[in-house]
Each structure stands twice: as structure tokens, then as C-alpha cells.
């Protein structure tokens, strides 16, 4: 039996890996070996802790000491001070972990204290590559319970009664979906997991797969048992190599332990799970497109009905749920429908994971009960807007969603409230914008995304979004007319009504919601030819003020030679030739070049 007095948890999520945590395990081991600590202290590489802003993160238990932005030099200090001598290195703790000289454990820090973790409960706690640690935290208990103590109907009934709704965007009741597939008559059925998380700024599915891959295997096995399937596919983005690798390892371990394969838990239930890699197409997040892609075709949606529950993968009945949805299932089976239904609001039960990003202090992943207000998320957990700037809007739902303004900050978050505000839950991206962001430009950004990702099958989406983008480009370039704004709105409604799949039907949302709440910004672009936030390049002028000392540095750095002036004399920018790259602004030693 391994005995350790301390556990050092190193975040191995994508955020922290990107900032260097991959080498930490070796470096800790080397530093610890010098003091012969390797037998007393255990190193654990975990999944994402959630507070990516503070990465790379290292947490030392039992104290729960929360070290942030750890560097190689810090490792030696943590080993020599904390692990050897038991003195928490206060200087290296995350700012929120020290309150008037008193150190707080990671669970007492505001960012974590206000959350309720169901789907993310093991992320940052267990080693995702070790099935035993998952089992220690109740892993595979739910599957065992379902297989040996519950009938298929009872499993579906519990999921139904819990009120769980799809976390991928649509919010369709999960239990109902399972019922449809259960009722479908077929020899062969499939379960599938949508891990093709493509919404820019949303990475909760990746975090679950990286931090707790076994929960997906367990949940899919439960779903398969309930609907009568014996085979499953996880369709996962190829852009998530760490998640793919950990899921592969998890599947291998589950097979070895007999938790996948034949006669699971001694019953006659068989289940086999395969991974299918996506290849970079946003539309494959749509269920029928995803199925087409699994079958090896272009990932294009088809009209529904028939729904996948009746005619899915290879024409067979299929249950398709998103990663976060599945991550809730084992907890629901273990704790009961009532436990889950007690969390959240009237029509949205449980918790939701959000990826908080953009102009916010605590960028990262957080899980909150439905019904928490946007203000609590952005200001209490998220820590507010950096650099003393003013909050302007929060964008939810990615390219399918919309912007929510300051006056609606006290809205409790749930599926229906967000739709009422002209946005949507989506997969849970939450991007905060401040006064420096131009809302017309943001709308243009999302349209640019949809145009690129439109599969081209139906005309309203293929042609319509393209025309909308052209109009937005015109407006951002200062060439827009009032007619453009009118056409934009009309076209938006046409596309919403006439498109084949969710991608097209929601593509105009970013435009419609910004038109609704930020019409004045559109008007400023069209009528005054000004971008109030100072983002749209063509509406800006870069000028040199009279503080110029004539050092000629701007002149040398200008890529298009549009700056003239003699040494020690005032320099001038030729506005017609200027490409507004801003290189001169960076170079100016007296900061006399301004963008307005």
C-alpha cells in the first residue's frame, strides 16, 4: 500500500500545459529526490482546476495550498520550504488564497467557494490516467447500481425525473431523448457522445475529458443499458490531443477491469466504446452532421425527422448526448432524481459549467447552480473587469448566441431566461466585453465564423450569412448606409426561419442582439463614420501630436513609408497611405502618437 503524507497536484489541463506544466512532474521529482522525499510525497498530474488565468497551477494537500503561475524556480522553493519544512510559501500562493496574512485552502478561495461542482467534481482532484482514483471517488458505482439493482425503465425514469436537459446548447430533456431511443424497435442501437466542442471560447467538454474521462465511459454505459445499445462512439475534436489520449487510456483501463466489454458486473450487459476523431468542421456539432461524419462522409446535416433516436448512426436508433450532459448522469443515478432536481430553477435543473473569458480577471472554468445571476458569475466569481474598465456586455452561446447588457446582469441564468434576452445558453461560453470592444465588430467576427463554417447545403445559410457579412464589412469600413442596417435585420429573420439546421437558424443571433441593445453603435458607424470603441481600423486615424520630438523612429518603423518629417522636427502621417498598423505607436519613445 502506498502511503504518502502530502500530495502535490499538478494541473495538466490544456491551459496549464500550454504555459509549461508538462515538465513539472519531472522537475518536482528531481527536486524532491535531493531531499529523499519521493516516498513521502506523491505527485499527481490532474485535469483542469478551472482557474486557467492563474496557470500553471500546483496544489499541495492536505493543506490545499494553492500555488499559481508556478515557474521552474518556484518548484525548488516549494519543495525545500513547503514539502521539506512544512512552511507554505506564502509569496507564491494565488492572491486570493491569502487574506490578511491568513492562508486559505483552495476550497476556501472565492473563485471555488461559490461554485457547485457536479460535472466537474473530479477535475483537479484526481489523476485522470488512473482508474483507481476515479473509483475512489465513487466511480463506476452508478453503473454497478444501474446494472444490478435497476431495470432499464427505472434508469430512464430517474433521468427523466431529474429534469436534466442537454448541455450542448439546445436544452432538450435528456430523459425524453432516451425514451425515444428505448421505444425504437431495432436489433442494433448505438449511444454516442458529442465531444466536438467547437464554440469559440468554450472548453468545458475538453476539461471534463481531460480531467475525468471515466465519467463519460460510465455514463455512456448507463445510457446504453437503458436504451438497449451495446456499442458507443465518442466523436471528439482532433484539435484536443490531450483529451483524446486520456480517453484512450481510460477506455483501455476500463476494458482491463471488465467495466467495458462482455458481461459487465456479471450481468448479460455488453458494451464496447470507440473513439472517432473529428476533422475540424464546426457544423459537426449538429447531431445529424456528426452522424454523417462518423459514417465517413462530409459532415452535413439532414432534415429531421427522422430523429437520430429512430434513425441515427448507420441508420440505427442512437442516443446522442453532449459531454457535460453525460458527466451529470452517474451522480444522478447515485444520488437520485430528487437531489438533482433540487438544484437549479423551475425549468432548468442542476448546474451548468461556463467558460469565462475575455475581459475578466478570473478567466477559467466554473460550475454554478442554474439560477445564479450573471452579476454573481462575472463579479463575485469572475472577479470583475481588469484595469478598471467598465463592463459593456457579456456574450453567451457563442456564434449562436447574443450579447447581454449591464441592465440585465441580475437575471438568473437558465435556459429560458437567456433565450428571452435574445441570447442562449449554448454550450456555455461566456465572453465578457468592456468599453474597448466594438459591438459591430463583434457581430462581424461571429458572422465571419459562421460564413466559414456553413456547410453549404442550404441556401439561406450559405448565401444569406455571406451577404450579411458583406453588409457588416461595409459598415465597419465606414461605407454603410441606413438601408444596410434595415436589410441586415430583414435578412437575419429570413435566415432564422428558412435554414435547415441549428447553425443557420441561430447564425443571425449575434447581429440581432447587438442591433437590439447597441443600435447606437451601428448608427455611429453609419452616420458619423466613427467607431466609438476605437476598434474598426478604417474609421480610425493615427495622428502625431505636437509633443513629437523628431526622433524619426516612427518613420523608420513604418512599413508603408507614410510618415514624413525632418530630424528634430514635427512628423506627420499621410492619412491616405496609412494602413493603421500601429507599429509607430509602439515605437514612439514619448508616446505622442495616438489612435482615435
Partner 1 sequence: MKSLADLAKLREEALKKVNIRGERKGKRIVVGMATCGIAAGARPVLNALVEEIQKRNIQDVEVTQTGCIGVCKLEPIIEVYDENNEKTTYVEMTAEKAQKVIVDHIVNGQIVAEFTIQE
Partner 2 sequence: MAKKLSQEECFAKLNEAIEVHKGSQGALMPILHEAQHLFGAVPLDVQKVISKALSIPLAEIYGVVTFYSQFTLEPNGEFLIGVCMGTACYVKGSGPILDRISRELNLPVKTTSQDGKFTLIDTRCIGACGLAPVITINDDVYGRLTEAEIPSILAKYINA
Q: Is 269 in the site for partner 2 (CB under 8 A)?
A: no
Minimal distance in Å, beta carbon 100 to partner 2?
27
Q: Name the minimum Å distance from CB 61 to partner 1.
A: 5
- Residue 169 binds: one of partner 2, partner 1, none (C-beta under 5 to 8 A by kind): none
Q: Contacts by 238-244 with C-beta closer than 8 Å and gap 24+?
A: 238/277, 238/278, 238/279, 238/280, 239/280, 240/14, 240/195, 240/197, 240/206, 240/209, 240/210, 242/12, 242/13, 242/14, 242/17, 242/210, 243/195, 243/206, 243/209, 243/210, 243/213, 244/275, 244/277
Contact between 495 and 468 (Cβ < 8 Å):
yes
Alpha-carbon gap, residue 274 to 399, rounded angstroms: 30
Closest CB 202 distance from partner 2, rounded Å: 7
* Residue in 19, 141, 505, 543 binding partner 2, rule: CB under 8 A: 19
Is residue 357 a contact point for partner 2 (CB under 8 A)? yes
Minimum distance from CB of 68 to partner 2 (Å)? 11
382 binds, among partner 1, partner 2, none (CB under 5 to 8 A by kind): none
| C-alpha to C-alpha distances, 311 to 75, 166, 503, nearest whole angstrom | 54, 19, 21
Contacts of 44 (CB under 8 A, 6+ apart): 7, 8, 9, 10, 126, 127, 133
Stretch that binds partner 2, among 236-244, 253-261, 403-411, 465-473 (CB under 8 A): 236-244
CB of 159 to partner 2, least distance (A): 28
**Shorter beta-carbon distance to partner 1: residue 88 or 442:** 88
Shorter beta-carbon distance to partner 2: residue 295 or 497:
295
- If one asks whether residue 98 binds partner 1 (CB under 8 A), the answer comes out as no
Stretch that binds partner 1, among 61-69, 199-207, 481-489, 522-530 (CB under 8 A): 61-69
CB of 96 to partner 1, least distance (A): 16
How is residue 390 annotated by DSSP? P
Q: Which range of residues in 126-134, 230-238, 361-369, 554-562 is near partner 1 by CB under 8 A?
A: 126-134
Is the torsion defined by CA of 485, 445, 194, 417 positive or negative? negative
Contact pick of 34, 87, 479, 596 for partner 1 (by CB under 8 A): 87
C-alpha cell recorded at residue 531:
467607431
Residue 586 binds which entry of partner 2, partner 1, none, with Cβ cut-offs from 5 to 8 Å by kind?
partner 2
Q: What is the distance between the alpha carbons of residues 61 and 274, in angstroms, rounded to a whole number?
A: 36
> Minimal distance in Å, beta carbon 244 to partner 1?
25
Q: Nearer Cβ to partner 2, position 436 or 497? A: 436
| Cβ distance to partner 1 smaller for residue 255 or 302 | 255
- Considering the rule CB under 8 A, would residue 201 count as an interface residue with partner 2? yes
Structural contact between residues 502 and 455, judged by C-beta atoms closer than 8 angstroms: no
- For position 477 contacting partner 2 by CB under 8 A, the verdict is no
Question: What is the rounded distance in angstroms from the CA atom of residue 118 to the CA atom of residue 331?
Answer: 7
Ranges of H-type helices in 213-353: 213-227, 241-256, 287-294, 323-335, 337-341
Location of C-alpha cell 519613445: 589
What is the rounded distance in angstroms from the CA atom of residue 530 to the CA atom of residue 523? 9
The full DSSP string for 156-193 is: HHHHHHHT-B-TTSS--BHHHHHHHHHHS--S--EEEE
Contact 40/72 with Cβ under 8 angstroms?
Answer: no
Three-state DSSP class for 586? helix
Instruction: Please identify, among the stretches 83-91, 293-301, 372-380, 479-487, the one whose residues bind partner 1 according to the rule CB under 8 A.
Output: 83-91
Footprint of partner 1 on 259-288 (CB under 8 A): 259, 265-266
Asked if 98 and 90 touch (Cβ cutoff 8 Å), the reply is yes
Verify binding: residue 107, partner 1, rule CB under 8 A. Answer: yes
* Size of interface with partner 2, in residues (CB under 8 A): 58
206 contact choice in partner 1, partner 2, none (CB below 5 to 8 Å, kind-dependent):
partner 2
Measured between alpha carbons, how far is 114 from 431 in angstroms, rounded to an integer?
19
Binding mask 245-264 for partner 1 (x = CB under 8 A): ------------xxx-----
Does 431 sit near partner 2 (CB under 8 A)? yes
User: Which of these segments, 5-13, 187-195, 371-379, 439-447, binds partner 1 (CB under 8 A)?
Assistant: 5-13
Cis amide prior to 103 (ω within 30 degrees)? no
Q: How far apart are CA 344 and CA 158, in angstroms?
A: 17
Q: Applying CB under 8 A, which of residues 5, 520, 547, 596 lies at the interface with partner 1?
A: 5
Distances (CA, A) of 78 to 36, 103, 126, 480: 15, 15, 21, 58
Q: Which of 50, 55, 56, 144 binds partner 1 (CB under 8 A)?
A: 144
**Chain residues in the site for partner 1 (CB under 8 A):** 1-7, 9, 40, 42, 61-64, 84-87, 105, 107, 125-126, 132-133, 135-141, 144-145, 148, 257-259, 265-266
Residues that bind partner 2 (CB under 8 A): 14-15, 18-19, 51-55, 197-203, 206, 238-240, 276-282, 293-300, 314, 355, 357-359, 363-364, 395, 398, 429, 431, 433, 437, 442, 445-446, 449, 455, 559, 581-583, 586
Amino acid at each position: 500500500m502506498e502511503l504518502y503524507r502530502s500530495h502535490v497536484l499538478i494541473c495538466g489541463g490544456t491551459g496549464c500545459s500550454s504555459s509549461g506544466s508538462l515538465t513539472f512532474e519531472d522537475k518536482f521529482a528531481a527536486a524532491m529526490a535531493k531531499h529523499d522525499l519521493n516516498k513521502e510525497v506523491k505527485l499527481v498530474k490532474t485535469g483542469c482546476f478551472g482557474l486557467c488565468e492563474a496557470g500553471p497551477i500546483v496544489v499541495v494537500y492536505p493543506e490545499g495550498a494553492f500555488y499559481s503561475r508556478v515557474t521552474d524556480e518556484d518548484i525548488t522553493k516549494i519543495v525545500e520550504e513547503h514539502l521539506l519544512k512544512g512552511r507554505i510559501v506564502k509569496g507564491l500562493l494565488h492572491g486570493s488564497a491569502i487574506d490578511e496574512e491568513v492562508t486559505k485552502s483552495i476550497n476556501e478561495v472565492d473563485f471555488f467557494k461559490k461554485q457547485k461542482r457536479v460535472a466537474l467534481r473530479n477535475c483537479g482532484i484526481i489523476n485522470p490516467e488512473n482508474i483507481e482514483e476515479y473509483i475512489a471517488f465513487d466511480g463506476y458505482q452508478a453503473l454497478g447500481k444501474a446494472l444490478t439493482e435497476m431495470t432499464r425503465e427505472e434508469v430512464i425514469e430517474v433521468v427523466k425525473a431529474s429534469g436534466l436537459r442537454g448541455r450542448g446548447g439546445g436544452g432538450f430533456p435528456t430523459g425524453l431523448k432516451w425514451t425515444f431511443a428505448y421505444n425504437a424497435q431495432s436489433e442494433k442501437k448505438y449511444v454516442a457522445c458529442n465531444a466536438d466542442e467547437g464554440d469559440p471560447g468554450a472548453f468545458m467538454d475538453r476539461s471534463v475529458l481531460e480531467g475525468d474521462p471515466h465519467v463519460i465511459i460510465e455514463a455512456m454505459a448507463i445510457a446504453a443499458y437503458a436504451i438497449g445499445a451495446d456499442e458507443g462512439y465518442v466523436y471528439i475534436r482532433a484539435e484536443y490531443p490531450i483529451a483524446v489520449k486520456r480517453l484512450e487510456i481510460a477506455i483501455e483501463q476500463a476494458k482491463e477491469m471488465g467495466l467495458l466489454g462482455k458481461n459487465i458486473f456479471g450481468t448479460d450487459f455488453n458494451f464496447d466504446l470507440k473513439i472517432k476523431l473529428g476533422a475540424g468542421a464546426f457544423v459537426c456539432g449538429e447531431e445529424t452532421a456528426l452522424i454523417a461524419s462518423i459514417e465517413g462522409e462530409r459532415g452535413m446535416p439532414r432534415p429531421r425527422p427522422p430523429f437520430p433516436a429512430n434513425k441515427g448512426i448507420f441508420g440505427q436508433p442512437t442516443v446522442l448526448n453532449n459531454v457535460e450532459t453525460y458527466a451529470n448522469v452517474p451522480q444522478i443515478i447515485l444520488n437520485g432524481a430528487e437531489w438533482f432536481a433540487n438544484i437549479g430553477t423551475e425549468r432548468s435543473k442542476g448546474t451548468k459549467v461556463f467558460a469565462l473569458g475575455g475581459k475578466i480577471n478570473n478567466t477559467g472554468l466554473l460550475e454554478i447552480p442554474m439560477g445564479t445571476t450573471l452579476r454573481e458569475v462575472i463579479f463575485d466569481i469572475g472577479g470583475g473587469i481588469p484595469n478598471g474598465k467598465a463592463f459593456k456586455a457579456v456574450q453567451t452561446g457563442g456564434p449562436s448566441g447574443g450579447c447581454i447588457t449591464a441592465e440585465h446582469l441580475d437575471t438568473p441564468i437558465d435556459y429560458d431566461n437567456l433565450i428571452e434576452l435574445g441570447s442562449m445558453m449554448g454550450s456555455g461560453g461566456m465572453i465578457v466585453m468592456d468599453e474597448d470592444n466594438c459591438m459591430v465588430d463583434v457581430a462581424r467576427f461571429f458572422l465571419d465564423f459562421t460564413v466559414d463554417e456553413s456547410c453549404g447545403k442550404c441556401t439561406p445559410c450559405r448565401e444569406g450569412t455571406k451577404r450579411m457579412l458583406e453588409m457588416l464589412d461595409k459598415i465597419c469600413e465606414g461605407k454603410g448606409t441606413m438601408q444596410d442596417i434595415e436589410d441586415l435585420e430583414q435578412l437575419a429573420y429570413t435566415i432564422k426561419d428558412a435554414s435547415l439546421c441549428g447553425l443557420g437558424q441561430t447564425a443571425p443571433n449575434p447581429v440581432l442582439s447587438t442591433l437590439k441593445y447597441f443600435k447606437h453603435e451601428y448608427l455611429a458607424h453609419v452616420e458619423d463614420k466613427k467607431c466609438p470603441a476605437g476598434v474598426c481600423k478604417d474609421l480610425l486615424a493615427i495622428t502625431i501630436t505636437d509633443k513629437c520630438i523628431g526622433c524619426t523612429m516612427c518613420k523608420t518603423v513604418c512599413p508603408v513609408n507614410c510618415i514624413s518629417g525632418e530630424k528634430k522636427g514635427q512628423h506627420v502621417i499621410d492619412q491616405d497611405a496609412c494602413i493603421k498598423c500601429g507599429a509607430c505607436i509602439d515605437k514612439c519613445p514619448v508616446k505622442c502618437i495616438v489612435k482615435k
